Amino acid sequence: MTEEMEILVRLGAGFGVMIVGLILALLLKGVDRKFAAWLQARIGPPLRQPFWDVAKLFQKDNIVPERAVPWAFNGAPLVAFIASLALLLFIPLGQISGIEADWLPVLGGYGDLILLIYLFAVPGLMMAIGGFASGSPLSTIGAQREMVMMMSYEFPLAIVVLTMAYRISHMDIAGGAFNLSTIVQNPIWSNDSVGVLGIVAMMLFTVVFFLIIPSELSKIPFDAPEAETEIGGGILAEYSGTNLAMFYLSDAVKTVAFAALAIALFFPYNLSPAFDLAFLGGMENAGVVVVDVLFWVFKIELLYFLAVTVIRVGAARLKIDRLSWLYLVPLSGLALVGALLMYLDVIL
């Protein structure tokens, strides 16, 4: 394949991943609202409601407050949306048994795990910039809370990711330690070189990452930056029309991307090895693809249901000071203990 053809293939693949990611993200929002209604003994909106919401917002006019900084107020949603789409290009959206080489990220490579941590911070940072630029005191409060929350959960998140990369670097495997595809294809759980201490560390990391998910996505009880009952929507109080639609889509896509990252780091296993698909003959590979992709979507939905839907239905909103303390003290402490155990697992 020529270099020009490879570029065209990657462009086509990237465009396809973004479209599929957008559709899956909106469907996930619809399923989430349906499950939340079921837990509360309600009927809830139809699964297609998020698509209607986005279509309606794109038909509305953008209203820019008089005291806003227009270029920052209008630019923040666009940058957030672009950054969230870029996330999909660096995450392996599933792992297909036996043909992993054909299922790598569109733009994956050495160091993509570090890049992902930065990209995940961009949508939240853009929401904070948009809140500050709106000129609204309620949005400013929301933006301040967003910055505090980001500084709180990014620390334990960085500990988990860096420690896992450190452990991968001490395994006898090919590929860079910060290459997400390497971690996906060589799960730490099932590696023979990882001892009991490493397994315990991974359990602690799973708990920490599980509790970071709703905060990264600003869902109840970690939605202090929006808090409709306190600050009237906070960051998004002054947004409408296309700008609000882009923030909505950014949140939806980031949801799928972060759940996919959790699956890639902790649960990258497939279902197809449990089935004998030889009866499909020449279509055996196609059967493997279907089974593994459907199982990957199921894992995304199950993780989101447990980490977000159940928690936001059964818990009340946390105050920003308690939220910050939760991540900087107990969860960071758990992450540091896990890092120490992983280090001991390497040297002992």
Residue 29 CB burial class (10 angstroms; 0-12, 13-18, ≥19): buried
Q: What is the dihedral of CA 217, 153, 220, 261, to 10 degrees?
A: 40
What's the gap between Cα 295 and its chain centre? 18
Checking if the pLDDT of 278 tops 60, the result is no
- The tens digit of pLDDT for each residue in 187-214 reads 888 777 788 998 999 999 999 999 999 8
- Which residues does 31 contact at the CB level (< 8 Å), separation at least 6? 47, 301
Spatial CA neighbour of 117 closest among 181, 60, 58, 160: 160
> DSSP letters of 271-300?
SGGGS--GGGGGGHHHHHHHHHHHHHHHHH
Q: Evaluate if residue 102 carries a pLDDT over 50.
A: no
**What is residue 245's predicted lDDT score, i.e. its pLDDT?**
94
Question: What CA–CA distance (Å, rounded) separates 292 from 267?
Answer: 13
Q: What is the pLDDT of residues 22-56, one digit of tens each?
A: 999 999 999 999 999 999 889 889 999 999 999 99
Higher pLDDT, residue 104 or 271? 271
Query: In terms of Cα–Cα distance, which of 36, 33, 30, 35 is closest to 48?
Result: 30
Tell me which residue of 208, 227, 232 sits closest to 320, measured CA to CA.
227
C-alpha dist (Å) from residue 314 to 20, 31, 68: 31, 17, 37
- Helices 3-39, 284-304: axis angle to 10 degrees equals 50
Q: What is the pLDDT of residue 253?
A: 92
pTM to 2 decimal places? 0.89
* pLDDT tens-digit readout, 306-318: 988 998 888 888 8
Residue 62 has pLDDT above 60, yes or no: yes
The pLDDT value given to residue 101 = 46
Residue 44 corresponds to which tokens in the numbers above? 């809830």
pLDDT of residue 217: 84
Q: Quick count: other Cβ atoms within 10 Å of Cβ 337?
A: 15
